[in-house]
Amino acid sequence: MDRRRGRRQHHRPGRQSPDRKSCHSAVGGRCTPHLVTKLTAPRGSRLVITFLKLGGSLITDKSTPRTADMDVIHRLAAEIRTAQKELPHLSLVLGHGSGSFGHVPAREFNTRNGVRTAFEWNGFLEVWRQARDLNQIMVEALTQSGIPIMAFPPSAIIQAADGQPVSVQSEPLLSALNAGLTPLVAGDVVFDKIRGGTIFSTEDVFMALAAAIHQTGC
């Protein structure tokens, strides 16, 4: 991608699935290939969910902190909306990485390895704030393209213990899908019973949700 042509938005403060497919094969042949996971529900069920990740290096300029590549974001949003129109029965869960937003404070505060001190909790909140800022940019762009998007913050639906999910609230997300909405998740902080807090990547969130949904038998 020639980044010289891309507009960027500077926003100032105020486990990978074994079934990997390109976006081309999964959602109608238009999106830039990236991580796509298809979850087929248990035998006897008709629900098939496609998890599509828009990587942080794709939607942000990782060389400049807190910089979203709006041209790329709007192009992808339009392509996803076109795919949804062509595949009206597509049950799609979108996710995005943090790119030049959350990764910087996550490294600075070493959040993935645990949150215990006041300093580390401040870092936890900063990762959350920056992830939320990019998430809001994504929500607005996807909404503008006509996608009925609804964000599901990982910290509100996943509880971890030593970096592993132990409680995942998948029912609201399933309700959104059944209502014809498109859930949006992201790599973000989660609370952890052992570490205090940690970070789940978008892939971690996808895998936790996929396992929880499979257990429901939907």
- Residue-wise pLDDT for 131-186, tens only, equals 999 999 999 999 999 999 999 999 999 999 999 999 999 999 999 999 999 999 99
Give the pLDDT score at 38.
53
Instruction: Kindly list the distances between the CA atom of residue 30 and the CA atoms of 27, 56, 75, in Å, as whole numbers in the listed order.
Output: 7, 19, 10
Residues of the chain with pLDDT under 50: 1-7, 11-35, 40-44
Domains and CATH numbers, the chain: 3-216 (3.40.1160.10)
Rounded Cα gap, residues 58 and 174, in angstroms: 27
- Residues forming a β-bridge with 49: 39, 91
Give the pLDDT score at 11.
46
Q: What is the pTM of this model?
A: 0.82
